[in-house]
Structure 1
Amino acid sequence: MNAARVSILALLVFWAASALAVVAVPPLVGRVVDRTGTLSSGDIASLNQTIRTFEARKGSQIAVLIVPTTDGEAIEPFSLRVAEAWKIGRNKIDDGALLVIVKNDRRLRIEVGYGLEGALTDATTKRIIDEEITPKFKSGDFAGGVSAGVNKMIRIIDGEKLPEPEPPHWHQQTGLFDVDALFNPFLLIPVFLFGGLMRTMLGRLVGAAVGGGVVTLIAWFLFGSIVAAIFAGLIAALFVLFSDAITSSTSGGSGSWSGGSSGGSWSSGGSSSSSGSSDSGGGGGSFGGGGASGSW
Structure 2
Amino acid sequence: MTARLLRACSVFLSRGILLLALFLTFTFAAAADVAVPQLTGRVVDQTGTLSSGAIASLDQKLRDFEAKKGSQIAVLIVPTTQPETIEQYSIRVADAWKIGRKKVDDGAILLIAKNDRHLRIEVGYGLEGALTDVNSRRIIDEVITPKFRTGDFAGGISDGVDRMIRAIDGEPLPAPARSTNFSSDLNDFGPVIPFALFASLFVGGILRTMLGRLLGSVATGGVLAALAWFMVGSAGIALAVGVIAFILAFIADLFPMATGPGTGSSRGGSWSSGSGGGWSSGSSSSDSGSFSGGGGSFGGGGASGSW
Q: Which TM-score bucket, shorter chain as reference?
A: 0.5 to 0.7
51, 57, 61: which is aligned to 1:46? 57
Amino acid at match of 1:27: Q
* Gap change, CA 1:111 and 1:181, over 3 Å in 2: closer
Of 106, 123, 134, which aligns to 1:95?
106
Aligned with 1:119: secondary structure?
coil
1:36-95 CA-to-partner distances (Å, cap 9, x unmatched) read 111111111111121111111111110000011123221112111111111111111010
Question: What displacement does 1:124 show?
Answer: 1.3
The one-letter amino acid of 2:258's match is: V
Percent of pairs with identical residues: 59
Render the CA deviation track for 1:262-288: whole Å, top value 9, x for unaligned: xxxxxxxxxxxxxxx986221111111
- Counterpart mapping for 1:99-138 below 5 A: 99-138=110-149
Q: Which residue number in structure 2 is paired with residue 85 of structure 1? A: 96
**Structure 1 partner of 2:252:** 195
Could you report, residue by residue, the CA deviation over 1:120-179 in whole angstroms, capped at 9, with x for unpaired residues?
111211111111111111111111111111011011101110011123459xxxx97757
Residues 132 and 148 of structure 1 are in contact (CA less than 8 Å); yes or no, is this contact kept in structure 2? yes
1:76 counterpart (70, 73, 87): 87
Kindly provide the amino acid, as one letter, of the partner of residue 21 in structure 2: A
8 Å Cα contact 2:225/2:242 also seen in 1? no
- Map 1:1-296 to 2 at 5 A: 1=11, 2-168=13-179, 181=239, 185-192=243-250, 194-198=251-255, 207=256, 210-213=258-261, 280-296=291-307
TM-superposed CA distance for 1:185, in Å, is 4.6
The 3 A distance-change label for structure 1 pair 210 and 187 is closer
- Deviation of residue 27 (structure 1)? 1.3
2 CA distance for matches of 1:64 and 1:281?
13
Regions of 4+ moved over 4 Å: 175-187
Residue type of the alignment partner of 1:121: T
Q: 1: CA distance between counterparts of 2:26 and 2:241?
A: 60
TM superposition shift of 1:184: 5.2
Give me the whole-angstrom Cα distance separating, in 2, the residues matched to 1:162 and 1:183.
32
Amino acid at match of 2:170: G
Inter-partner Cα distance in structure 1 for 2:243 and 2:223: 21
Q: 1:279 to 1:60 in 2, by over 3 A?
A: farther
Question: Is the contact made by 2:120 and 2:305 (CA closer than 8 Å) also made in structure 1?
Answer: yes
Cα pair distance change 1:162/1:46, threshold 3 Å: same
Q: What are the ranges of 5 or more consecutive residues in structure 2 without an aligned counterpart? A: 1-10, 183-221, 227-237, 272-287
Give the superposition deviation at 1:117: 0.9
